[in-house]
Amino acid sequence: MKYIFILCILIYTNNLYAKINLIKKENKDSNTTLLVIGGIHGNEPGGYFAPEILATHYTIKSKNVWIIPNLNEASIIANRRGIHGDMNRKFNHIKKNDKDKKIIKEIKKIILLPNISLILNLHDGHGFYRKKSEGNIYNPDAWGQTCVIDQCKLLRAQPFGNLNNIALTVKDNINKKLLKKHHSFNVKNTNTKFDDVQMQQSLTYFAVKHSKPAFAIETSKNLSSLAQKVFYQLVAIEEYMKIMHIDYSRDFNLNIKELSKIIKNYGTLVINHNFLINLNNIKKSLSYIPIESKSNDFYFSNPLGGVKKKNGRYLVFVGNKLVTTLRPQYFKISRSCHKKYQLLVDKKIVFVPKASEIYVNDDFKVIGSRDYRVNVIGYYKKGKVDESNIKISLKNLNKKYAIDNNNKIYRVEFYKNNKFCSMLLVHFK
């Protein structure tokens, strides 16, 4: 029997919530667990869009995969390596007042759990690593296109403890699937204990010191597209899963064309369980968003979704990409609203749950009720306060109030006694 869990660890610090978004894909028959960590550096998108796709498009059929797609969420939104300094240089020593301290403490606890069998830390690195210098981009100082290890073996014998042999196997198999010849992977052994003081502060070396097999995957920042970076990250992750005998499937073909589409699928945002926004092909700014003035809950279908409030507006992100800006209109929220609404859609009666989407060929009509007032955003008829029981087609709507760039998606809002209840999205085909 298979289980999938999503766990959010919330830590209150400096009036902000730092969170670790831990997604668990588990099977009851095994304690072997791969831990995939993305986004420790906020300006390395291959390192967090790949685990997002792993979380949303892969089925784990045996053993367990735990995924943290956006460890350093605030830095991802800012598209900076680390807004409080380099988070990957704080695992050996961290100051008491460091704003990353709570996250570092929690991720260490997760790494050291007994069931964690192997750890992958995902990055984008500069250039293309070569053992001998071939110019400014191809040289031993580069990090891109590498399987990084801190040492050849763990000191204590255990499964997956031969880091060098595993990395070599992964490297060889990735190189059978290259998009271009010069994208070739290599193993980079930093020999951390003796040769690299900076890496002694890193997540992988912390794990290795505690007898946990750990590897970094570094795709090149010099690759021409995000899809290429995500491609190599996923190829590498799959190779590590094969070594761990983790059986998996995915709902797409692993190629650049399909990955490009998936990366641009931002999913949906639900606010306060009653207001739905489809984030795909959305306009740059939406106005009159009915929310509460003090506290609001934001739920994304995409694990990389995040919100930042700035100058009274809500900036909506997926990873480092600003998707839209919400201009709020503050309302009190009614707690006694319908969970479903009755509509006539293309001459058929349907019952539609709150905060959901419906698709319309020709026209729709909200069946009226004494319990609520209807406001179809973009429709206007003089003297009409309640817009229920009116047949509405696409030509009746003002395009500037559509939420999408194709002007085919509109909001239908429900109010009770001047309090906001909920909203539906109507898609015209």
pLDDT band (50, 70, 90) for residue 223: very high
What single-letter amino acid sits at 160?
F
Residue whose entry in the numeric block shows the structure tokens 């968003």: 289
CA dist 76 → 44, 79, 155, 382 (Å)? 8, 5, 35, 47
Identify the three-state secondary structure at position 315. Answer: strand
User: Where in the chain are the domains?
Assistant: 2-263, 267-429
How far is residue 367's CA from residue 9's CA, in Å, rounded to a whole number? 42
Q: How far is CA 84 from the centre of its chain?
A: 21
Q: What is the mean pLDDT of residues 237-251?
A: 98
Mean pLDDT value across the chain: 94
- Alpha-carbon distance 249 to 61, whole Å? 8
Contacting residues for 309 by C-beta, under 8 A, at least 6 apart:
315
**What would the 3-class secondary structure string for 47-113 be?**
HHHHHHHHHHHEEECCCEEEEECCCCHHHHHHCCCCECECHHHCCCCCCCCCCCHHHHHHHHHHHCC
Tens digit of each residue's pLDDT (9 = 90 or more) over 3-21: 344 444 333 333 334 579 9
Q: What's residue 30's pLDDT?
A: 86
Band (pLDDT 50/70/90 cuts) for residue 29 is confident
**76 neighbors 19 (Cβ within 8 angstroms):** no
The reported pLDDT for the residue numbered 18 is 57
pLDDT at 364 over 90: yes
% of the chain residues with pLDDT over 90:
92
In the predicted model, is pLDDT for residue 330 greater than 50?
yes
Q: State mean pLDDT over 340-355.
A: 97
| Alpha-carbon span 376 to 397, nearest angstrom | 9
pLDDT of amino acid 102: 96
Q: Give the model's confidence band at 305: pLDDT under 50 very low, under 70 low, under 90 confident, else very high.
A: very high
Distance, CA of 61 to CA of 300 (rounded, Å): 25
| Cα–Cα distance measured from residue 283 to residue 404, given in angstroms and rounded to the nearest whole number | 5
Report how far residue 160's alpha carbon sits from residue 194's, in angstroms, rounded to the nearest whole number: 22
| 382 membership: H or E segment, kind and range | none
Question: Do residues 352 and 424 touch, judged by C-beta distance below 8 A?
Answer: yes
For residue 344, the model assigns a pLDDT of: 98
- Residue 358 has a pLDDT of 97
pLDDT at 12: 30
Q: What's the CA gap between 240 and 9, in Å, rounded? A: 27
User: Measured between alpha carbons, how far is 371 from 422 in angstroms, rounded to an integer?
Assistant: 13
Please tell me the predicted confidence (pLDDT) of residue 28. 85
pLDDT of residue 104: 97
Q: Which residues pair with 419 in a beta bridge?
A: 416
**Regarding predicted confidence, which is higher, 158 or 247?**
247
Q: How confident is the model at residue 335 (pLDDT cuts 50, 70, 90)?
A: confident
CATH of 2-263, one of 3.50.50.60, 3.40.50.300, 3.40.630.10, 3.90.1150.10: 3.40.630.10
pLDDT score for 49: 98
- Span 148-152, average pLDDT: 98
Q: What confidence tens digit (pLDDT) does each residue in 65-119 have? A: 999 999 999 999 999 999 999 999 999 999 999 999 999 999 999 999 999 999 9
Which of left, alpha, beta for 281 (phi over 0: left; psi -120 to 50: alpha)? left
Strands (E) in 184-302, as ranges, are 186-189, 214-220, 248-250, 268-271, 275-278, 285-291, 298-300
Q: Report, as an integer, the average pLDDT of 301-305.
A: 98
